[in-house]
Structure formats: structure tokens, C-alpha cells
Structure 1
Amino acid sequence: MQRHEAGGSPANATAIDLRLRLLAGFLLAAHLVAVGWLTLAPLDLPWTSAGNMTPLAGIRADLALGPVEAARRIGEGLALLAPLGVLVPLVSGRLRLSRLAAWSSLMRTAAAGALVSLSIEMLQSGVPGRVVDVDSVLLNTLGVLIAHAAVVPALRARLARSLPVYQGDTPRISRVGIGPWTDVLSAVPREY
């Protein structure tokens, strides 16, 4: 079924899609620069604690500080890279996906978030005043997953409804009159 709308040419649909992808790419780059500045700036501290390489140990320590402080620290870990969960799929630009492709998009986005978080943690090992924490990678990746699952399906549906669907030009077939073989098909067979 074709949906015909005003301005539904492929050039118009491509321009809208291209502008959206460029905006998402710019926002993604700006977010990564801000995250890099926040997480890789050296800190002038008299002492630092040891790095945490035991999964969930830092989260348990945060929970031991009380509910308000734990919510703040865990929330910061979840929110740091959460915009990647929305921006990475928008940069890819695919709006109409099957269930398998949507699941694949979720996994690719989570992998991208985990790699960015792991890269930050690796770079922090050489920055004065910063310590490596494996729980940061877990929380950042979980934040990317939550943001993707909460926002991207509804955003894709809304964008898919607002953009015209271009399915190619309607084929034009010239009208053909009665062919020369029609008297052969309609003739009564003769007896010999």
C-alpha cells in the first residue's frame, strides 16, 4: 500500500532524514566531548582510593552510604552515557525496522555504550586523581540500554509516521489494442 502525501518525493524524504542524522551526529559529538571533559580532566586531590576491579562492589559501597547518596551516585552512573542510547540509533537513520533488526539495534547501541565507557575507564587510568571503576562500565551500559528501550521505539514510530513513504514511481504501461493472436484464441477449432 502506497501512502501519497504532498512533498512525498524521494528528495524531500532524504533531505529530512539527512538533516535529522546530521543533527543527531552533531549532538552525539558534542555529548562525547562533554563526557570526555567531565571524566578525563585531572583532579587535584591529596589522595585517591584504589581502583575497583570487582563487579558490583562499588554499587554495594554506594548503597551502604544511604538511600539518598546511593541514588545520586548510581543515577550519575546511569545518566552519564544515557544519551548515546538515543543518539547512536538516530545517527544510523533507519526508522522502519523488523523486530529482529530492532533487537540488533539495541545490542549494537549497548555495545557502543560499553566500548565508550570502557575507553573512558582505560583513559582514566593515566589521569591524575582519577581511578578505574568496573561498576562505572556496568552502570553506563545499563543507562544506555534503559534510554534506548524507553525512547527509541516511540521516537522511531513517531518519525516514521511524520515522514512520507516513497516507494518509487508508479509504472506506466502503454495501452495495447487487440493483439493479432486474439482471433486464434477465439476461433472455433476446425475439423479436418
Structure 2
Amino acid sequence: MRQGPGGKAVTLFRVVGFTLLLAHLVIVGWLTLRPLDVPWITAANFTPLDGIKADLALGPAAAVRRIGAGLLLLAPLGFLLPMADARLTVSPWASLVRTTAAGALISLAIELGQTGVPGQVVDIDSLLLNTAGVLLTHLLVVPFVRARLRQRRRPASAGEGAERADGTPQGATPTITRVGVAP
């Protein structure tokens, strides 16, 4: 079993991570897949970086707002997906690739879902920005959180004594004296 000695804590961490992940996805779904009542809509953008170039042409304030919104929409997934998995000892590259791929697939599902929603427009740049947000969040948060949790979980040195799974001190490890061979 992957849980190890801190089974209750790991299970709690997974449940909290999964609950926050579902709550975030519900909010994202409501924001991106609800019909909008707009007088006109732009055409779908299937050319990468065209929307970002258009946002930059609007000026710095509008560009920061629009590009920032694209980066931040799915950015919490960069932390919530590994939190729902609750592994401390995993390859950092495998975790990064797995989380980024999951974020890209969720973003793709949102973009495909928008094809049938009135007032919503498919934009390839949204897919790119959402995926970049997941990647950046994972790079900036997950390695430090995992290192901190591993540090807290590491047993004390032999002279100090270790802790039990519930966090209470166990005391020094007893030594066994040599026993001779029986007659």
C-alpha cells in the first residue's frame, strides 16, 4: 500500500485534495460552459498565438488582464491534482508531465464543450494559456510543498528517538545484547 505509516493523514490529504479539485472544476465549468447573452461573438481562433497577439495589441492593461485570466483559470490544478494523489516520493518530472497533461486534457475538454454553448468561442490560445498556468503552478508550488512534507515526515536521528504514526515520541531505540550459543 502506498500510504505507509501515516495512513490516516494521507487519506485525509487525498480526500481534501479531491474535494477541492471537484469544487474548482465545478466553478470552472460554470464560468466557461454557461451560455452568454452577447450581441455578437468573434470567430473561433484555431491559429496558435493569434489571440495573444491581439490581446497585446489592446494595450498592457488589457493584455495583462486577458492573458492573466487565461493563465489563472486552471492554475490551481497544478497543485490540486498532485494533492489529490498525495504521493511524497514520486519522480518530479513524472509528476510534472502527468499534471500538465491532465491540465491540458481538462482544458481541451472545456474548449470542446464550448463548441455547443451559445456565446462561448473556442480559442486555441486558451488551451495554451490554461496549460501553461497548470505547468507554472506545479513548478512553483509542488516541489517545495513535497519537500516540506517529506522533511516533517522524516524520522528523528537514532539518539533522539523516533515518533509514532500519531506523532507522539517513541524514545530511543533499544539495543539488544549479544546472546551466546546454547549448549
TM-score band, normalised by shorter chain:
0.7 to 0.9
- How far off its partner does 1:90 sit? 1.2
Using the size of structure 1 for normalisation, the TM-score is 0.80
The structural deviation recorded for 1:77 is 0.2
Q: Which amino acid aligns with 2:76?
A: P
User: For 1:125, what is the secondary structure of its paired residue?
Assistant: helix
Please name the residue that 2:8 is paired with.
Answer: 15
Between the aligned partners of 1:116 and 1:174, the Cα distance in structure 2 is 60
Shift of residue 163, structure 1, vs aligned partner: 2.7
Structure 1 segments of 4+ aligned residues over 3 angstroms from their partners: 172-176
| 1:65 aligns to 2:58 (yes or no) | yes
In structure 2, runs of 5+ residues without a counterpart are 156-162, 164-172
Q: Which residue in 1 is equivalent to 2:121? A: 131
The aligned counterpart of 2:180 is: 177
CA distance in 1, matches of 2:97, 2:84: 15
Match in the other structure for 1:145: 135
The Cα of 1:148 is off from its aligned counterpart by 0.2
Q: Partners in 1 of 2:54 and 2:17 — Cα distance? A: 36
- 1:36 pairs, out of 22, 29, 40, with 29
Determine the structure 1 residue equivalent to 2:85. 92
Query: Do structure 1's residue 80 and structure 2's residue 73 form an aligned pair?
Result: yes
Q: Which amino acid aligns with 1:76?
A: A
Larger CA Rg, structure 1 vs 2: 1
What is the CA distance between 1:161 and its match in structure 2? 1.7
Query: Partners of 1:92 and 1:45 in 2: how far apart?
Result: 40
Counterpart in 2 of 1:161? 151
C-alpha distance in structure 2 between counterparts of 1:126 and 1:175, whole Å: 77
Q: TM-score, normalised by structure 2?
A: 0.83
CA shift, 1:173, in A, is 8.5
What amino acid is the match of 1:29?
Answer: L
| Deviations, residues 42-96 of structure 1 (Å, cap 9, x unaligned) | 0011221100000000000000000010000000000000000001111111112
Deviation at 1:38, TM superposition (A): 0.3
Map 1:104-115; keep pairs closer than 5 Å.
104-115=94-105
Q: Which residue of 2 aligns with 1:103?
A: 93
What's the CA shift for 1:178? 2.3
In structure 2, what is the Cα distance between the partners aligned to 1:92 and 1:175? 45
How many residue pairs get aligned? The number is: 166
Aligned residue for 1:58, secondary structure, equals helix
Match of 2:160 in 1: none
Query: Could you tell me the percent identity over the aligned residues?
Result: 58
Tell me the distance in 1 between the aligned counterparts of 2:64 and 2:13. Answer: 34
Structure 1: 5+ residue runs without aligned partners? 1-8, 181-192
1:117 equivalent in alignment to 2:107: yes
